């Protein structure tokens, strides 16, 4: 039996100092040991309250030329290379104390972070490592930009990456990473940031690369350089007089460290962005022309997948072959019982977004006895109640303690009934979260039979603490 992997932190504090690429600010960062289940937490030591920002997908606030995270008015720019180094070395928990807004750029790769973390050493902790194991295909696509990301089931974290920038200096490039632990340091950590000359000029005009030099990026010429342009580059970035000027040549950064260094750097960025998931991933990522925006979008999808899996593991009593949650599992979430539980199965659940459920309407329902004799029709108010219960299942997954909470509905708007619901019908119930403020939520709900809309409406609800049972102490 394979021993269970344990979490790890750094063995001792280590410090690195340098200049940030985009802000140009000089900063010292100190990696410090952190307890199990902490994750990677940045501490802005230069700010009065020493705010902490966890490296988490929910804290991403910008993906413009890098991944920026923020919380409580504080932010840290361009975290992807640092996170790639931490994740690539198998470090789960670490405090990153900073006295500036951006980690040092170094030579444009992750190698400076790797070196200092290797100096610190790694210490195993008495807590098991949690993995996200993907068992279905997750996709993301931007057809207009030719961007595609596919996440497939795998027994380990693998990456296959392809780029094609239609530029003579690059052409089509491809790389694969089969084992993060074995290959990260030797094959990907030293791959440097690259960009095209046109991008450098644009970013310089927008004052976005205050710390940029010819020492921390590979600059590829994408148009013939005029004398006036060259003079600007020489004045702003200390480009030597004999630097190349023709389209397709490399102006700064020297020779590539590998013939496919640019796609290796894109892989490095992906590793750093995927670290925002907060746990190691067991999956094979296929990427074509992906950047920070696409990486972050897929990590958000993976977070939803993770939350859905955790709900299933928490509530399901056995393997739900026909749905995510069966009737017994639903009763672990909902307070309703016979004859007022009107949801039989959960088919889909995207936490904090939407839920799809089924209600089988049989002739044995008690309400058919009086509604109506000889012409049974499900009361419209109960169709609304079924939609509301479906929404309640979604809302109770947005809070930390659903077992001790109830959903009370405060308003029903725009309700319409399109056709009657009869015995033998199967209701497909859908609820989508439109808005949430504190514990008050607005839902769009719909009910279908055989693909036809039978009812719809907007529901306003409030999540409240469950009152104590009779005889319980308060």
- Does residue 85 contact residue 189 with C-beta atoms inside 8 Å? yes
Query: Where do the DSSP E strands lie in 289-364?
Result: 345-350, 354-360
CA 151 to chain centre: 13
Q: Please indicate whether residue 81 is annotated as part of the active site.
A: no
- Does residue 8 contact residue 123 with C-beta atoms inside 8 Å? yes
For 276, list phi and psi in degrees, rounded to 5.
-70, -10
- Tell me how far apart the alpha carbons of residues 428 and 59 are, in angstroms, rounded to a whole number: 35
- Does residue 315 contact residue 328 with C-beta atoms inside 8 Å? no
Both tokens of residue 215? 């020492």
Length of the chain, in residues? 474
CA 88 to chain centre: 18
- The contacts found for 414-418 with CB under 8 angstroms, 24 or more apart, are 414/456, 414/457, 414/458, 415/384, 415/455, 415/456, 415/457, 415/458, 416/455, 416/456, 416/457, 417/380, 417/383, 417/454, 417/455, 418/452, 418/453, 418/454, 418/455, 418/456
- Tell me how far apart the alpha carbons of residues 391 and 142 are, in angstroms, rounded to a whole number: 31
Given the structure tokens 């279908």, which residue do they identify?
Answer: 448
Question: Which residues lie closer than 8 Å to 5 by C-beta, 6 or more apart?
Answer: 128, 129
Q: Please indicate whether residue 284 is annotated as part of the active site.
A: no
Active site residues: 292, 371
């Amino acid at each position: 039996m394979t021993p269970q992997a344990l979490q790890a932190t750094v063995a001792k504090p280590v410090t690195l100092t340098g200049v940030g690429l985009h802000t140009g600010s000089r900063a010292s960062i100190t990696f410090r040991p952190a307890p199990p289940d902490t994750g990677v937490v940045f501490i802005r030591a230069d700010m009065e309250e020493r705010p902490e920002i966890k490296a988490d997908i929910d804290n991403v606030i910008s993906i413009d030329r890098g991944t920026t995270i923020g919380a409580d008015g504080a932010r840290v720019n361009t975290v992807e290379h640092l996170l790639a180094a931490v994740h690539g070395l198998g470090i789960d928990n670490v405090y990153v104390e900073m006295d500036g807004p951006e980690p040092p750029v170094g030579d444009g790769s992750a190698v400076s972070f790797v070196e200092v973390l290797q100096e610190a050493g790694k210490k195993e902790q008495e807590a098991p490592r949690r993995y996200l194991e993907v068992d279905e295909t997750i996709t993301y696509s931007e057809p207009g930009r030719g961007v595609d990301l596919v996440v497939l089931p795998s027994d380990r974290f693998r990456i296959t990456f392809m780029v094609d920038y239609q530029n003579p200096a690059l052409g089509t490039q491809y790389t694969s990473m089969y084992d993060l632990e074995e290959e990260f340091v030797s094959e990907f950590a030293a791959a440097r940031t690259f960009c095209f000359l046109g991008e450098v000029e644009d970013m310089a005009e927008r004052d976005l690369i205050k710390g940029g030099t010819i020492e921390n990026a590979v600059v590829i010429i994408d148009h013939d350089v005029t004398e006036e342009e060259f003079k600007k580059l020489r004045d702003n970035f200390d480009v030597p007089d004999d630097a190349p000027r023709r389209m397709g040549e490399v102006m700064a950064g020297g020779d590539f460290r590998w013939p496919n260094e640019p796609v290796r750097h894109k892989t490095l960025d992906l590793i750093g962005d995927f670290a925002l998931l907060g746990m190691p991933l067991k999956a094979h990522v296929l990427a074509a022309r992906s950047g920070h925006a696409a990486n972050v979008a897929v990590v958000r999808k993976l977070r939803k997948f993770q939350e859905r899996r955790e709900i299933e593991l928490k509530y399901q009593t056995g393997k739900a072959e026909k749905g995510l949650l069966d009737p017994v599992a639903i009763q672990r979430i909902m307070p309703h019982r016979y004859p007022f539980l009107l949801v039989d199965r959960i088919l889909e659940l995207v936490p904090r977004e939407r839920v799809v459920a089924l209600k089988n309407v049989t002739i044995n329902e008690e309400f058919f006895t009086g509604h109506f004799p000889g012409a049974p029709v499900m009361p419209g108010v109960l169709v609304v109640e079924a939609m509301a219960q479906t929404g309640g299942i979604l809302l109770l997954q947005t809070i930390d303690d659903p077992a001790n909470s109830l959903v009370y509905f405060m308003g029903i708007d725009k309700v319409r009934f399109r056709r009657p619901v009869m015995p033998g019908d199967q209701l497909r119930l859908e609820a989508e979260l439109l808005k949430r403020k504190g514990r008050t939520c607005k839902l769009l709900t719909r009910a279908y039979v055989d693909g036809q809309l039978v009812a719809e409406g907007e529901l306003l609800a409030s999540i409240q603490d469950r009152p104590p049972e009779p005889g319980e102490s308060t």
